[in-house]
Amino acid sequence: MKQRPIGMFDSGVGGLSTLRDVRALLPNEHIIYYADTGNCPYGGRSHEEIVALAERVTHVLLERGVKIIVVACNTATLHAVDYLREHFSIRFVGMEPGIKPAIAQTKTGVVGVMATQATVAGERFQRLIARYAGDVQVVPQACPGLVELIEAGELQSATTREAVKRYVEPLLKAGADTIVLGCTHYPFLRPLIADVAGPNIALLDTGAAVARQTQRLLATDDLLNPQSEPGSIEWLTSGDPADFAKLRQCLEIE
């Protein structure tokens, strides 16, 4: 069991930002990463569609013998992780927008959250705000089109900059001094978002926290891989493997 891989999945390449954090913390673990690029993006899909897609990918990863599954997608976590935990016996590590740490550090009392449409509309997202916000104003900002631009490899294009500006400016006008990157795709735009937002705005994502939780659960279950050499990575996709490989190269993740 200890030699079995960690399973990870996302609607596309967004979860690779989380994979980097998992790889940095657990370099000796084998990983199977599933990019559901054939059904990307999840952000505009219904709750029922997202649950069905997450369940299908889970079956694929279980057939590969994974020992834990990281749902490296905020949208899939918010809509499907409760269902997955109820219907499968394997451990799941989910991702939620980092609202709690953002609230803890804001000085202006206003936190912005950039996320997909499905995340912002989800009941679990609203529960997160209700649970942690207190007196802090949380301003959700749906960002349709950003995932598609990242999947196209447009990390610095004029079109992407204009889209980022369109979504960041309302958060700045609302007085946010902290912006949560509530989609695993968005860290790949961190330099661009930081440039648009300015030097006084903190950007938060939860990739490192997810890596730590994965490590904790594996340690609790005595499933950490004891090998000393680097673990392998197996790439799976529901889309075109050549396109997926080309985009990984663009994102400098091999």
Please tell me which residue in 40, 73, 143, 250 is annotated as part of the active site: 73
Please tell me which residue in 40, 143, 183, 250 is annotated as part of the active site: 183
How much helix, strand and coil, in percent to the nearest 5, is found in the chain?
A: 50, 15, 35
Give how far Cα 20 sits from Cα of 46, 70, 111, 164, 187, Å: 29, 13, 26, 23, 11
Respond yes or no: is residue 183 known to be catalytic. yes
Give how far Cα 145 sits from Cα of 42, 115, 244, Å: 11, 11, 19
Respond yes or no: is residue 143 known to be catalytic. no
| Sheet with 233-237, edge to edge strand ranges | 92-93, 68-71, 6-10, 31-35, 233-237
CB distance 184 to 74 below 8 Å: yes
User: Which residues lie closer than 8 Å to 107 by C-beta, 6 or more apart?
Assistant: 177
Nearest-5° Cα angle at 17, 12 to 20: 125
Look-up: residue for tokens 């968005």?
186
User: How would you classify the pairing of strands 137-142 and 110-115?
Assistant: parallel
Active site residues: 73, 183
